[in-house]
Every structure is written in C-alpha cells, then in structure tokens.
Structure 1
Amino acid sequence: MSIGNSPEDDRPSVGRVLQQARIDAGLTVDEVSSTTRVRVPIVHAIEQDDYSRCGGAVYARGHIRTLARVVGIDPTGLIEQFDAEYGGRPEATPAAPLFEAERIRPEPRRPNWTAAMVAAIVAVVGFVGFTLFSDDETSTGNTVAEATQSSPPPKPKPSPTKPTDAKAEPSDSAIAAAPADKVTVKLTADGGNSWISAEDHTGRLIHEGVLKDGDSKTFTDKKQIDLVLGNAGAVNLFVNGKKVDRIGDVGQVQRVSYTKGDPEQG
C-alpha cells in the first residue's frame, strides 16, 4: 500500500491526517496505543499509510475509526478516502443466526389397541374353526372352551419411538461445571474470520492472532479476561459457561472485559 499523500487534489493521506491530529492533541504513540489497545507498531505503520500489519481491509477500517476517535476527529471522511484509495468496501459477510432454531420433535406413536384386539379375536376364531373340523362333535365343545381359556390375546408390541435429537443447548449442569473461582471465556468464529487479542488481569498479552471461521479459543484467568475483537459480528462468546449476546456488527472493533461474576458484557 502507498505511503504519502493521496493523488486526488494533493490532499493529505489517511495516515498523515491521523498523525497530525495526534500531534495536535498532544498525544504520543504509546499513549494512543495504551488507550486503544492497538499495538505500537501498527499505529506507526498506519500513520505511514502501511496497512499490511492490520490483517486485511476490515481490520484496517476498524483501526482507523478507533484512532480517529481517540485523537478527536470524525472517522467518516477517512474511511471514505481509504475505500477510494484501496479498492472500496467489500460486501459484508452476513452474520450467522444467534441461536439454532429448535427442532420440532414428533410425538411418540401410541400402541393401536383396537387393531391388537381385532387380531386376537381373529386368531381365536380361526383356532375354533380348525378344532371344529379336526375333532368329532362330542369333543368340540370342550376343545373350544379349553382353547378359549388357554389362549389369551397376544400382547401388542409398542411402536418404537424416535430417539430425541442429540443436539441440544448447554444444560444447567454443563453451565455449573465452569470453575466458580475463575473466569472462563470461549470464542467461536461462525460468520467469518476475526482478529482477536486477549490479556489476563495483570495486562499480560496471552493471545493475539486471527481466529478463522469455525475455530474456537478458550481463555481462563483467576480474576479477569480483557478481549479485543476485530470483527465482532463474526464471534460467538461463552462466558463462564453461558452464551452472551453478540456484542457488535460485522467489521466492527469491540473491546470487552469479563470477570468471575459475569456474563455481563464489559
């Protein structure tokens, strides 16, 4: 990506505008990085119009918005200028549904007792008829009576019920299994890739990188987890065993913190 001024009307580039606004606001790069949690090398690169460290245009737009707000300028014009110079805004990836629709389970079929009784009667009548033709008239009555008493109708077999769907929402026992003395955060990308970073309660960086679509990451700390999501609309969050509402839109940068008492969004 180019470094310097924009070729259109010789206006300042996006990076130069951000740099000058930071200087006018009396802020250092370290102070901007500490406030926005955008790493110092990335801040330096953006101010030189080098967006290769951002991980893609979606993340570059998010960083530009964040830096612009911190130094006190409107990011709208900068985003439009960035899109004009670097290929325009791509179509947003549709966010996946927050919850899978519950499947309708068919009711188990009840035994057909009427059909079973009819079958039993037919069996008894057939047995009686066979006895009448095979024995003489004297023994017929006794045989029929004995056959009627000794041949109870067969028990109908209950229709097999369809097994319930094995896929279900997390149970209370699964939620209770999350350690009560720690904070546990699980991230799953289901609507595209997302750049993420995670810090423990001391501010130590424990993870940074791209969470690819379909992948998951889990972080645990005894007090607090701080997260930065570069594409918040593509990430599902489970905090201490419970799913929380999606915290942003596709392409939006969000920062959240969670403790042992959550899930309440940070």
Structure 2
Amino acid sequence: MSIGNSPEDDRPSIPEVDDDRPSIGRALQLARLEARLTVDEVSAATRVRVPIVHAIEQDDFSRCGGDVYARGHIRSIARAVGIDAAPLLDQFTAEHGGRTTPTPAAPLFEAERIRSEPRRPNWTAAMVAAIVAVIGFVGFTMFSDSGTGGKDSVAEGSVTPSPEAGKDTGKPAPSKPADPKPDPADSAIANAPKDKVTVLISADAGQSWISAKDHNGVTMFDGLINKGQTKTFTDDDRIDLVLGNAGAIKLFVNGKEIKDDFQQGQVERLSYTKEDQQEADPQAG
C-alpha cells in the first residue's frame, strides 16, 4: 500500500524521441535549403550571427551562450525558414533535459566594457589658441609698421640733410629763400598714367590704418601710415580702399584731390577706377 504519490510521479514527462526524425540542426538546414535561403540571409533576418547559424545546423549549441539563448535561436531560425518551431523545441528539451544554463554576463559584455570611449576634440582650447594667435599677429604687424615709419618717410620724398649743412665755416651763410615743400597733389598729377587708376594717400593730420586691394582682390597694403607719410597705389582697372581714420587723410585719385568731408576716427570704404580720371569721385565700396 502506498500513501500519496511517489517522487517519480512529480517529474515532468519527457516526450519519447523518434530515432527516425532528423536532428534539430539538420531539420533547420533542410528547411533553409528548401526555402532557397543562404546562411547570410537567415542571419540578416534573425539577427543571429553567421557562425552561430552554422554551428546550430551542425547541432553545436555551445556557441549560443546557454539553453535559453539556444531555444530563442532555434525559434527565430525556424520562423525564418518557414517551419514550426514547437517540435524542434520539444526535441531540444528531450535531448538536453530541459536544463537552462545561464550565461555569465561578463564574457558577453566584456568587449563592450573594455572599449574605450572616443575622446572628443577640445574645441574650447582650439578657439582660445586661435584667438591668441590672431591677437599676436595683429600686434606684431602694428609694431613692425610703426617701427619702419621713419624709413618710409625718407623713401617717399623727405629730404636728407647734407653733411655740409651743419658744419660751422665761420662765415655767415648767405640768405636764401627756402624751397617750397612740394605738394603731394603735384606729384600725383605728374605721375598718374592715363590708362590706369592711381591713388595717392597722404597722412597729413595724423596716423591712420589703411587697406588697399587691386581689382583681383589681392592686398596691396594693409597697415598703419604715420603722420607725414604717403602711399601710392596703381592698378589697371580698380583700387578698393578702407580708411581707418579718414579725417587724417588727404586722398588724390588720378591726379585730382578728393574733397570729401571726412571726420577724425571715421571709417570709409571707397573704390576708384581708371574712368575716374576726369571727376575723381568715390564710388560705393
């Protein structure tokens, strides 16, 4: 006489294995071939990597990462090749005893964990470096132009005293009227070619920053001219000017003075062509 059920009665029933049926991997392979699908196509449809698909078709489930993942792969591949996954899952349970082997998390995600984050470029440092470089270049240019101002004055028409002028001979020097200082306009008129545009800039009232470009946009001059200095520019077609302190400048175009009422500290953008020989009026820059 027995009281209650024996322990064997509580165990889950395991379906009997039909020795004539193909293995799980062979069944999936035959179904894939019948569906005219390649392993790559099955992998793309199921997101199961190609080496794992090959291993499952060889009844090697060790690369699946555990029984739970193996069942999921079998179900996905069976759906992709168009067969019922239930008999294959029952067969897998019968062959593997229904055990689920959890896969340690570390091996699956170890590659992702050790992958270093890409370093982002430090745009703030790059911008600061660029600003410092620009400020340094501008300061160097202004210092260089200021330091060479006296040389430009001598080169552009100033008279160098003769060594004999300061020698004391003991005799009174004969009185002689001083030569009048040449007007920059006279030089501009005399030297202005008829087939070109000529612009003469004279810093009569103070220092000014100027920029001059030819008709191709090439910079002819970009810097400071000191009081008393002059600059002359010639081009075949057009000259574009920017005057940083227009009130300190006298301007001669094609031999004639421009009579505009420029103010101290005023910035002017002007453009002149060789057709301005008669009127010498500024055009809009």
Quick check: TM above 0.5? no
TM bucket normalised to smaller = 0.3 to 0.5
- Greater RCO, 1 or 2 (C-alpha within 8 Å, sep 6+): 1
TM-score computed with the length of structure 1 as normaliser: 0.37
